[in-house]
Amino acid sequence: MYQYDQYDQTIVDERVAQFRDQVRRRLSDELSEEEFRPLRLQNGLYLQRHAYMLRVAIPYGNLRSTQLRMLGQIAREHDRNYGHFSTRTNIQYNWIKLEDTPDILAKLATVEMHAIQTSGNCIRNITADQFAGVAPDEIVDPRPYCEILRQWSTFHPEFAWLPRKFKIAVCGSREDRAAVLIHDIGIFLSKNPQGEVVARVLAGGGLGRTPIIGSVIREDLPWQHLLSYCEAVLRVYNRYGRRDNIYKARIKILVKALGAEKFAAEVEAEWAHLKDNATTITEQELARVAAFFVAPAYQKLPDTDTSYENHLLEEKAFARWVQRNVRPHKVAGYASVTLSLKPGISSPPGDATAEQMEAAADLADAYSFGEIRVSHEQNLILADVRKQDLHALWLRAKALNFATANIGLLTDIIACPGGDFCSLANAKSIPIAQGIQARFDNLDFVYDLGDLSLNISGCINSCGHHHVGNIGVLGVDKDGEEWYQVSLGGEQGNQAKLARVMGPSFKAEEMPDVVSKLIEIFVEQRVDGENFIDTYQRIGMAPFKERVYASRQPALA
């Protein structure tokens, strides 16, 4: 993992001092709330329903165990003993006092962490594949490029006051696990026939009120030009993106208005002036940063292990966990493990207690070279576990409520914090997730359903990625009441598709029944072990819609 040098450390230390002074000036009224608001947002501090929410950056989802312990300590000392991992692979604390934030940031700085640009109309935390560096299908490890982008975007003087927020995702594998197609800039790294790293750059993807899949604006961009090319994209957006309407201010609206080709031409014209300037990445810098991401000291191991194989045969629950929560690793004898933060009704999706964070840090130290990743599906990953350790790890994970064998299944629900916390939300998310999880608490049944994504957003800002869920749930407000609109057919990944709304929305208490009916149709119509999305694409919306609305009381329609 990347480690700060004295320069990186000085920057976060000076940020703490700067923010401490900004808070002081706010408390003494030297700064009005209107003036302070974007300053605190650019430090991840939102004013929510009950208290301030602080969003801490987890750059491209990578954490050291010491950092995760500090996140646990902050949850204990400054919050109500838990934190929420978000779909941008950050962590959010829900019960923060404004006066505490400078001290929290100072604590974070001691472990090379910060909350810089985790909100506001600026370049946000850069996200990547949670299996970067270990995935068998990886072509290029995205992490060094993400770190170089992180440094470039941190306090970029020209792009701190964009029309709207700006999110970048990077993927270097064949399968897109970073939701690249729904980002403001999406970068696919690969190699050209000469073996040089090149980028396919997409722009204008995003969810929200107007969900749009990103368009390719550049092929075969040599890696040296990633920063200057992004500067060209950002400059075009900064100058010409709409600022008159918050709902039309994302880059996707500009790309759509101009057309991807015209937008790409504008960027190309701008880039012609910037290409080869001092911002061009050097071999030396790439080598310096890449050295932090060299493979850890893997042992030479046989690809499998007798005791592991025996446990697989003897313990069905373990075998099932391996099936769902363990992935192949590029190194023989190793595997990557996902610790589920979706245990069902015992805890909201993506939440972890201070004790769980500390325990996950211990597991990382014991089994995975002291490193943890956060996925955009809101789970934690131990990327480098020896197969011979999987059973022991599973036993410990079970005791910690981390071993629900549901990764990629119906109950691995992506959900935003929703109306329980978020002041933007129209409706609650967590009780909907928990109602569905309670309905589908039979793991055998859920397991047999196979891959199925159910994503819940409490409002059209779409933090819960409902547009790209096989089943998407969106909280809407109707005359002050919370209703839920259900959509079907969304997908993330290389073939990302936007879901279609099924029909009129539902009350919260109807939602478990609605999902049950969707699942009934799927089970009835499923052929040859299809996944839900395959069945949906084969039979279309109509059978699902008929079943769901057929028995509905007219009064609710």
Partner 1 sequence: MPQIIKHRDIIQDDWIVVRAAEDGSLPAVDAIPAGRVLLPFSYWKAHSAALRAARPAAELGVWLEPDAEPAELVEDFAAISLIAVDFPVFRDGRGYSIARLLRDRYHWTGELRAIGDVLRDQLLYLSRCGFDAFAVRADKNIHDALKAFSEFTVLYQAAQDEPNPLFRRRAAAAAV
* Rounded least distance, CB 48 to partner 1, Å: 21
| 155 touches partner 1 (CB under 8 A) | yes
Query: CA quadruple 166, 167, 172, 175: dihedral positive or negative?
Result: negative
* Rounded least distance, CB 312 to partner 1, Å: 47
Contact 39, 122 (CB under 8 A): no
Q: Which of 24, 27, 97, 161 binds partner 1 (CB under 8 A)?
A: 161
Q: Which of 68, 109, 162, 405 binds partner 1 (CB under 8 A)?
A: 162
| 282 touches partner 1 (CB under 8 A) | yes
Return the residues of window 207-236 that contact partner 1 according to CB under 8 A: 227, 235
Letter string b/e over residues 31-40, b meaning 16 or more CB atoms within 10 A of that residue's CB: beeeebbebb
Q: Which of 93, 159, 321, 421 binds partner 1 (CB under 8 A)?
A: 159
Calpha distance 389→384 (Å, rounded): 11
Interacting span for partner 1 (CB under 8 A) from 61-69, 161-169, 329-337, 439-447: 161-169
Letter string b/e over residues 72-84, b meaning 16 or more CB atoms within 10 A of that residue's CB: bbbbbebbeebbb
Interacting span for partner 1 (CB under 8 A) from 59-67, 154-162, 444-452, 520-528: 154-162
* Rounded least distance, CB 265 to partner 1, Å: 17
Other residues' Cβ atoms within 10 Å of the Cβ of residue 162:
22
Tokens of 48: 């929510």
* Rounded least distance, CB 447 to partner 1, Å: 47
The residue among 5 and 314 lying less far from partner 1, judged by its C-beta, is 5
Q: Which of 7, 313, 314, 554 binds partner 1 (CB under 8 A)?
A: 7
Contact 421, 49 (CB under 8 A): yes
Element containing residue 381 per DSSP (H, E): strand 380-386
Q: Which of 24, 27, 30, 80 binds partner 1 (CB under 8 A)?
A: 30
Contact 85, 75 (CB under 8 A): no
Q: Which of 65, 92, 130, 151 binds partner 1 (CB under 8 A)?
A: 151
Other residues' Cβ atoms within 10 Å of the Cβ of residue 272:
9
Element containing residue 186 per DSSP (H, E): strand 185-191
Distances, alpha carbon 258 to alpha carbons 217, 253, 261, 498, in Å: 12, 9, 8, 22
* Rounded least distance, CB 282 to partner 1, Å: 7
Calpha distance 257→242 (Å, rounded): 10
| 200 touches partner 1 (CB under 8 A) | no
| 33 touches partner 1 (CB under 8 A) | no
Closest alpha carbon to 186 in 132, 120, 242, 233:
233
Closest alpha carbon to 114 in 6, 9, 7:
9
Tokens of 68: 């995760």
Return the residues of window 112-131 that contact partner 1 according to CB under 8 A: 121
Interacting span for partner 1 (CB under 8 A) from 282-290, 471-479, 501-509, 522-530: 282-290
The residue among 18 and 66 lying less far from partner 1, judged by its C-beta, is 18
* Rounded least distance, CB 117 to partner 1, Å: 12
Binding-residue total with partner 1 (CB under 8 A): 43
Q: Which of 22, 67, 406, 453 binds partner 1 (CB under 8 A)?
A: 22
Distances, alpha carbon 112 to alpha carbons 16, 93, 125, in Å: 12, 18, 15
Residue numbers at the binding site for partner 1 (CB under 8 A): 5, 7, 10-11, 14-15, 17-18, 21-22, 30-31, 35, 38-39, 121, 148, 151-152, 154-163, 227, 235, 238-239, 243, 273, 277-279, 281-282, 284-285, 288
